[in-house]
Amino acid sequence: MRNILYFLIIFFTVLMASCAGAVTITVDDDIEGANYKSIQNAVDNATDGDIVLVYPGNYTENVYVNKELTITSLSEKSSRYYYLCC
């Protein structure tokens, strides 16, 4: 029982530490307040664990992801798309 408690403490400590450094990056092709206008630029400038929020728009690009990111669509439609890339 004690080993399980130690394992859970270590597990949650590592989990919280990995999420603590996450930065949220916004992408919007027509709003000036967003961090980037293209998804690829956001991915290129992100680091492991970051969250990329993509606002509705027209993005005609092939995106290459070579790091651990969460890419989320912020569509106002009922269906939302979430991509966990690694």
pLDDT tens across 74-84, in order?
A: 776 645 555 55
Q: Is 63 part of a structural domain of the chain?
A: yes
Tokens representing residue 77 in the block = 């439609």
Q: Is 76 part of a structural domain of the chain?
A: yes
Closest listed residue to residue 68, CA positions, set 55, 54, 83, 80: 83
Higher pLDDT: 28 or 8? It is 28
- CB atoms under 10 Å from CB of 13, counted, come to 10
Number of structural domains found in the chain: 1
Q: Is 3 part of a structural domain of the chain?
A: no
pLDDT surpassing 70 at residue 35: yes
**Bridge-based pairing state of the strands 69-73 and 82-85:** antiparallel
Query: Which residue matches tokens 């991915």?
Result: 43
Q: Is 5 part of a structural domain of the chain?
A: no
Domain that holds residue 27: 22-85
